[in-house]
Amino acid sequence: MQTPGAEAHNPFFAISELPYRLPPFERIETAHYRPAFERGMSDQLAEVEAIATNPEPPTFENTIVALERSGQLLQRVAAVFFNQASSDSTPEVQEIQGEVSPKLAAHSDAIHLDGRLFARIEALLPSAGDLDPESRRLLERYHLEFVRAGAALTDDQQARLREINEELSALETAFQNKLLADTNASAVVVDDAAQLDGLSADAVTAAAEAARERGLEGKYVLTLGLPSGQPVLTSLTNRGLRERIHRASVSRGANGNEHDTRETAARIATLRAERAALFGHPDHATYVLEDRTAKTPAAVHDMLGKLTPAAVANAHAEAAKLQEAIGDEFELRAWDWAHYSDKVRRQTYDIDAAQLRPYFELDRVLRDGVFYAAGKLYGLSFTERPDLVAYHPDARVFEVFDEDGSGLGLFIGDFFTRDSKRGGAWMNSFVEQSALLGTKPVVINNLNIVKPPAGEPALLTFDEVNTMFHEFGHALHGLFSNVTYPTFSGTSVLRDFVEFPSQVNEMWAVWPEVLANYAVHHETGEPLPQELVQRLLDSQIWGEGFATTEYLAATLLDLAWHEIAPGTVVEDPLAFEAAALERAGVALEAVPPRYRTSYFAHIFAGGYSAGYYSYIWSEVLDADTVEWFKENGGLVRANGDHFRKELLSRGGSVDAMEAFRNFRGRDPQIEPLLVRRGLTR
C-alpha cells in the first residue's frame, strides 16, 4: 500500500518534462512500477468505459481517435518496465513481471472483448470510405484486431480465451526468466588461463573480470550468448573447452533443474493451438500468418523449400572442406565448426577474424560508421547528451537532428552485455512518434558486446559491427516515423516486414566510403588495408551454407511447434524437435539449429511465434532493395530521401507490400537473395 502523498512522487503519473518526454530515470524506482501499472490500467478502463457508454452516435473521433488517446499512463510505465526487464533485470523486476503480465493480458481482453465497443467500431465501417487513407486504415485495423482478439466469439469461447491468454502471459514470462537464469548459471568457468589459448588478450581480461564479478577470483568465466553458436568457439584452440562451451550452450533450459524450460515451451505451444481452434483455424501458424504479408503457412513453406536443399548441400560441401582441414585426427563436430571454418576462411581468403578487430573500435564504428552513413544518406546529425540520464550507466543518450537543424528525437545506445541483460540484440521505444499526441521518438538499441576493462577500448568482431548497423536500421524506422496515429508509429508494422529496413541498413557496413571512414586501427590510426577489405568482401560467401542451414533449422522448428493440431500434448519436447528437424531435412549433427526449443526465446517469449521465418522473408525484400541502391548510385541523399519517404516514414499506415512497391516500382524478386547466399547452384 502506498504511503500518503506517494502518488505525487510517482514519476509515471505525469508526462515527462524532459526533452522529447524522455522518462525521468533519475527519479524512477522499482517501487513505482506496481502502482503505475495499477493506475494505468484503471485509467484506461475508465477511458474505454466512457467511449463504450457515450450516448452520442459513434463517430471516428469519439470512438477510434478516443481509443488512440487512451492508456497513455499505461504506455509510459510499460515502455520503461519491459525495457528494464530485458536489459537490466533484477529478481524484484522479474517478480513484478510475473505478477503484471497476466494482468495486462486480462486488461487487453477486457477492452477487446467489450461487445459495446465492438458494436461502435462495426457501426463505423460503412462510412470508412469518407475518411482519409490513414484514418480509414486505422478503422479497418481496429476492427480486424478486435475480431482477431475474440470480439466475435461466443460468451463461452471468450471466457476460455481469457483463461488461455492469462496463462500464456504467465508462461511466456516464466520462459524468459528461467532462460536468463539458466544462461547465467551455464557460463563456463575455466581454472587455467592456458586453456584460453587463441583468445585475444582483452577477451582473456574480460573473462577474468567476469569471474571476479561472480566472486571467482583467479578463475575465468566465459558467458553465453543467446544463439547456439558461441563466438569464442572461433578462436579457442583447446578442443575440450570448445566442447564444454558448446554443450553448455545447447543444453540451456534442458538441464532438469528449476530453470528447465521444456515443459513450459510445450504447454505454450499446446495453448496456442487451442486458441487458434477457437477462431476456427487448424493451428497457431495459420492464425498468425493470416495477418502477415505471407498470408499462409503454405506460402512460407514454398519459399523455404526453394532455399533448404541448396543450403543443406552447401553445408555438406563446407563440412567436407572442414574435415579435409582437420584430417584424420578426429571427426568434425558442432564445436569444431566455427574454429575450422575460420581456419579455412583464413587459408582461402587470407583473412583472420582476430586480425580485423583492432580496426573496429566501438565508438569509431558508431560515430564514423553508423552515424556517418545516416548523415550521408539522410542528412542526420547526432549530439551526445551526457546531461540526459538513461536507465543504466552504460546506456548513452544522443539527440538526433534533421538536416534543417530541427530535433528529430533521441537515440539511446546500450551496447554492453551484463548478467542482468537477456541475450541477443534488439530495438525498443520509450516514446513513439505521433502527430495526434504531439510526440517525437525516443528509441533504444541494445547489443551484447563484451565490456572491456576500464580504460581499454571495446573492439568488435565484424559480426558485431554488422549487428550495430542492423539494429540502427530499426532505430531509423522509429526515428523517421511520420504518422498521425500511435498505432502505426515506427516499427509497428507486420512482423514479417519489420526486419526489412534493418537488414537494408547492414549494406552500409561494407560500403566502401563508409568502411573507409570507420575501419581505422585503434592504436596506429592506419586505415584497414584495401587488400584486406577486398578479402573481407570476397570471404562473405564462405560459410553461407552453415549460416543458412542453422537459420532454416530454427525457422522450420518454429513452424513445427506452431503447426501442431489443437489438443496435441508434446510429452518429450527434444524428441519432438529431433523428429521435426529430420522431417524437414535439416537434421545435421554438426549444424545445430540457431536456437533449440529450450532456449528459443524469440518464439516462446519474444513475439515471433510462427514468425521466425520473417528474417529471411524480409531478406528477399532487403536483397532486392540493395540492388536498387546499387543501380541508383548508392549512398546519396536522393536515394535516402526516397527510401525514407516511401518506407521508413510510413510505419504501418499503409499496406506493407504497397509501401515496397511504391519504393521499388514492382513486386520483390527472390533472385538477389539466392545470389547473396550462394544458393544458385
Measure CA of the first residue to CA of the last residue in the chain; give whole Å.
Answer: 67
Neighbours of 145 (CB within 10 A): 14
In contact, 452 and 501? CB cutoff 8 Å: no
Confirm if 134 and 483 have CB atoms less than 8 A apart: yes
- In angstroms, the CA 583 to CA 80 distance is 42
Distance, CA of 264 to CA of 287 (rounded, Å) = 21
Residue 166 annotated as catalytic: no
Residue 597 is given by DSSP the state G
Helix (H, G, I), strand (E, B) or coil at 299: helix
Sorted by sequence, the CB contacts under 8 Å of residue 142 that are 6+ apart come out as: 64, 67, 121, 487
| C-alpha cell recorded at residue 318 | 563446407
Helices (H), 88-238: 91-112, 115-124, 133-148, 155-185, 201-213
Q: Which three cell numbers stand for residue 275?
A: 486458441
Rounded CA-CA distance 46/156 in Å is 25
Closest CA to 491 of 607, 376, 613, 665: 607
The catalytic residue among 134, 172, 471, 506 is 471
Give the cell for residue 126. 460503412
d(CA 189, CA 207): 9
- Give the span between the Cα atoms of 419 and 422, in whole angstroms: 8
| Of 324, 322, 382, 291, nearest in space to 542 by CA | 322
Question: Is residue 589 within 8 Å of 639, Cβ to Cβ?
Answer: no
Q: What are φ and ψ of residue 444, in 5° steps?
A: -130, 140
Q: Compute φ and ψ for 520, nearest 5 degrees.
A: -125, 135
398 phi and psi, to 5 degrees? -125, 135
The answer to whether the Cα torsion of 412, 418, 420, 423 is positive or negative is positive
Spatial distance between the Cα atoms of 532 and 355, rounded to a whole number of angstroms: 10
**Which residues are catalytic, by number?**
471
